[in-house]
Amino acid sequence: MVLSVSERTFAQEVFQASTPVLVHFWAPWCGLCRAIDPTLASFEAQWAGKVKLLGVNADQSLKLANTYRLTSLPTLIWFEGDRARFRFEHYQGRDELRRTLDAWMLATERSSQTQRLQPQQVANR
């Protein structure tokens, strides 16, 4: 189950998380938002402990919707700390969504591995 956050809890849950955070902006009236839930749950299970999945009801969090300039729902934003790294809009299907999420996760893992290497190790790669 996706943990829901509000404007009040967003900064703590997202910016202070010890792992990357995938935020799913949705609304109760949005059929596509519900349609991607199984894919998101599968992704979260596969990458358990390596990514945190949160939901934001855009209708109840207009300030966040404006801050992140939502133009369509569902919108997924991948955060590392307080930085939005990736964004997914205009849902085209489960397969595309799954490929996108896996690519984000792999890019994040590669980035963190590179950061852990010493400068000399990076030069020799």
The residues that are catalytic are 30, 33
Spell out the SS3 assignment of 12-38.
HHHHCCCCCEEEEEECCCCHHHHHCHH
Give the CA count within 13 Å in the CB-facing half-sphere of 87: 11
Are the C-beta atoms of residues 95 and 65 closer than 8 Å to each other? no
